[in-house]
Amino acid sequence: MLRLPILAAAGCAALAFGLPLAPQAAADESAIALLGAWHLTIHYRDEASGDPEAKRWDDRLWRFEKRGSRMQWTEYPIVVFEDQSGRFETTENDRSMRTLSYWEPNDTQREQIGRGLQVNPRGAKSKGLRGTPERGYRSAGGLRSESVSVIGYSESWSVQELGDKPVFTQDVVMGSGRTEDMQGRTRYTTESVSPDRRELRGRFERDGTRHGHFVLRRAADPVLLGGGGSSAR
């Protein structure tokens, strides 16, 4: 297992949204309050599913770091807890399946979040975002291919409103020269920030059919299972 380093500059110790920093660091680091790792929990309902009233959940780990003039945002969709209670249940066939209800980390699971979660590199994605603290940060977009015989695919990620209540957006565009583009959007709109600035809560929306709420909790450095790395786009 490999402990992932967090590349944070001095002066970002508390990493709190909107807090003033030392004058020499403020110009470059005022919006890097996100630097480090965060565990994301999502509770939602899916209007397009066969059971639109079913309570569904998802979780993942986000990690932000400074890479030169860019802010690198990496998303790990597979996190592993030592205590899986509440997340998964065993069926009559001794198979493990996701709990069919909202899952919220218990005290033991929160303790592991605080000391470092395990993450699987499979399916991980990473984006380099450019911008400024005032204007926000955004990755490059645009389809990879406009050929009539090749389907193009592109993702664009952005972080806005860094000084107050951050808004995280992930846009997907897919299409070719002979078809209309298909677009998808996932947005996390922060509505409240805890007094210690280590927990964000807000509204979750995906593709106009999935609606719910999210909690973003400060986490320690993640542990990468099995080596490997994240896929950059």
Q: Please name the amino acid found at residue 19.
A: L
Q: What is the mean pLDDT of the chain?
A: 81
User: What was the pLDDT predicted at 181?
Assistant: 62
What's the pTM value of the predicted model, to 2 decimals? 0.80
| Cβ atoms within 10 Å of 229's Cβ, excluding its own | 12
- pLDDT tens-digit map of 186-222: 999 999 999 989 999 999 999 999 999 999 999 999 9
- Write down the domain spans for the chain: 18-128+190-232
- pLDDT tens-digit map of 19-31: 333 333 333 444 4
Would you list the DSSP string of 114-178? HH--EEE-TT-EEEEEEEETTTEEE-----S---SSS-EEEEEEEEE-TTSS-EEEEEEEEE-TT
User: pLDDT: is 94 or 61 the higher one?
Assistant: 61
- pLDDT tens-digit map of 169-189: 999 887 655 555 678 999 999
